[in-house]
Amino acid sequence: MKTTILIVDDEPGVRQALSGVLRDEGYAVEAVASGEACLDRMTRGGIDLIVLDVWLPGMDGLATLSRLRERQVDAQVVLISGHGNIESAVRAIKLGAFDFVEKPLSIEKTVLVIRNALNQRRLEAENRALRARVDRRQTMVGESYAMRQLREQVAMAAPTNGRVLIYGENGTGKDLVARTVHALSRRRNGPFVEVNCAAIPEELIESELFGHVRGAFTGAVADRRGKFETADGGTIFLDEIGDMSVKTQAKVLRVLQEHTVEAVGGHAPLRIDTRVLAATNKELPAEIRAGRFREDLYFRLNVIPVFVPPLRERQEDIPMLADHFMAEFAREYGRRIKTFEPAAIAVLRGYPWPGNVRELRNVIERLMIMVPGERILAADLAFLDASALARPGPPSAPAGRPTLHEARDSFERALILRTLAEQQGNMSRTAEVLGVERSNLYRKMKAFGIAPARRLEGEEESV
């Protein structure tokens, strides 16, 4: 759509000349002769910038400007002031005009001021859109017991500066948790630097994490800062840490112990202040037993464990998440929101979501694109992989057979979470239903990284 400018001037000569110049510049131009006509035109929208004369019969330029502001019209305003009338120009700026040009009008000056005003407006709009997008992306949606609990754990962990190890299957929201921890911490204005340890080839990971000096190896043509250093004063997020080689683990451990990094080929260790968050979809205790993960690193990273439950364990969140993503894609594609028929919601709730929230998000995007009407029917979801419906467990379960101990832990943890959910977080009733002492339940929860619910009920807090 063309940028549209409205000229408000009572002199036909000025309207005509200015319209011609601005059309030549590629703008769409409309013109009116009074403040009243300007206000009237603005009710219909579609104007990006107003060129407003100060001297107008009837309602003058400044009065028109303050009316526009009262109505929160977001068009940019450039004022034309009489020669030497600085006082009203200053008042106009205070009222929110972008700038003013003096009569007699210099074409160049006028075009330049208009261009700058439009640029600023565009930047502001982009900024707002970006911020809104970031905010939306950073909301952990869901009101299930498991989700409220997760948000609470995140809120407690965030301000502590402690290391957080985030567990969860693929697509459960581990990235989102890490970003939220950073956003709620005192480091929120510092950098958030993400490193996907599984995606970087082994030969490059050390240089990526710690940097290198020029000439350290073939191809190192210049000094390069590592991610730990880039994240100084902020947070580094080591994603898929379970895939890091044992050799690199040893180096990371040193950084955690000594709070210094040494670039590949460098000599002087550099002190850094970087908070470390890590995430994995692997069962690290099993990796440790298999000799693939260092136990000492595990203990260093696991200061605050956070478990992100799979989507199938919090089915009640599915409708809310579906709506959330629907709104996101409607905005992104500039389309209207589609609503789900109850039968479609039932299908979404019944599906086991092996790819968790990420898969749900992809499905909603697909529906936004593929479904022509404004209602989504159960039949529109026929493409959901029926074989997954029959699959009993998580498909991303670690390769190989779990030990009896692991299997029992994972079953117990799921059972406790489910019972807590059923009992709305009430510890005493949960303990009763499970047939254990309350203190015993507490110990188990602590071992499994399940934080007790707070403020949900009037229960006493003692252990």
Ligand X SMILES: Nc1ncnc2c1ncn2[C@@H]1O[C@H](COP(=O)(O)OP(=O)(O)O)[C@@H](O)[C@H]1O
Residue numbers at the binding site for Mg ion (CB under 5 A): 175
Q: Given the complex with Mg ion, which of 68 and 238 has the nearer CB atom?
A: 238
Asked whether 235 and 185 are in contact (CB, 8 A), the reply is yes
Name which of residues 341 to 370 contact ligand X (CB under 6 A): 357-358, 361
CA–CA separation, 116 and 122 (whole Å):
10
Decide whether 86 or 337 has the Cβ nearer to ligand X: 337
Q: Is 170 in the site for ligand X (CB under 6 A)?
A: yes
Task: Please tell me the distance from the alpha carbon of residue 100 to that of residue 123, in angstroms, as a whole number.
Answer: 20
Q: In degrees rounded to 5, what are phi and psi of residue 21?
A: -60, -45
- Could you report how far apart the first and last alpha carbons of the chain are, in Å? 64
With CB under 5 to 8 Å by kind, the binding choice for 226 among ligand X, Mg ion, none is none
With respect to ligand X, which residue has the nearer C-beta, 53 or 175?
175
What minimum distance in Å lies between the beta carbon of 53 and ligand X?
50
Task: Using the minimum distance from each CB to ligand X, give the nearer residue, 92 or 322.
Answer: 322
The answer to whether residues 287 and 246 touch, using CB atoms and an 8 Å cutoff, is: no
Min CB(311)–ligand X separation in Å: 8
- Closer CB to Mg ion, residue 208 or residue 239? 239
Q: Which does 141 bind (CB under 5 to 8 A by kind): ligand X, Mg ion, none?
A: ligand X
Q: Does 280 bind ligand X (CB under 6 A)?
A: no
- Per CB under 6 A, which of residues 128..147 are in contact with ligand X? 137, 140-142
Q: Is 206 exposed, middle or buried (0-12, 13-18, 19+ CB in 10 A)?
A: buried
Choose among Mg ion, ligand X, none what residue 142 binds, the Cβ cut-off being 5 to 8 Å by kind. Answer: ligand X
Which residues, numbered 174-203, are part of the site for ligand X (CB under 6 A)? 174-176
Which one, 50 or 278, has the nearer CB to ligand X? Answer: 278
DSSP type of residue 402? P
Q: How many CB atoms lie within 10 A of CB 323?
A: 16
- Axis-axis angle for helices 202-210, 246-258 (nearest 10): 10
The DSSP H or E segment spanning 421 is: helix 404-422
State the nearest-atom distance from the C-beta of 321 to ligand X, in Å: 6
Helix (H) or strand (E) holding 306: strand 304-307
50 secondary structure, DSSP code: E
Q: Using CB under 6 A, list all residues that contact ligand X.
A: 137, 140-142, 168, 170-176, 321, 324, 357-358, 361
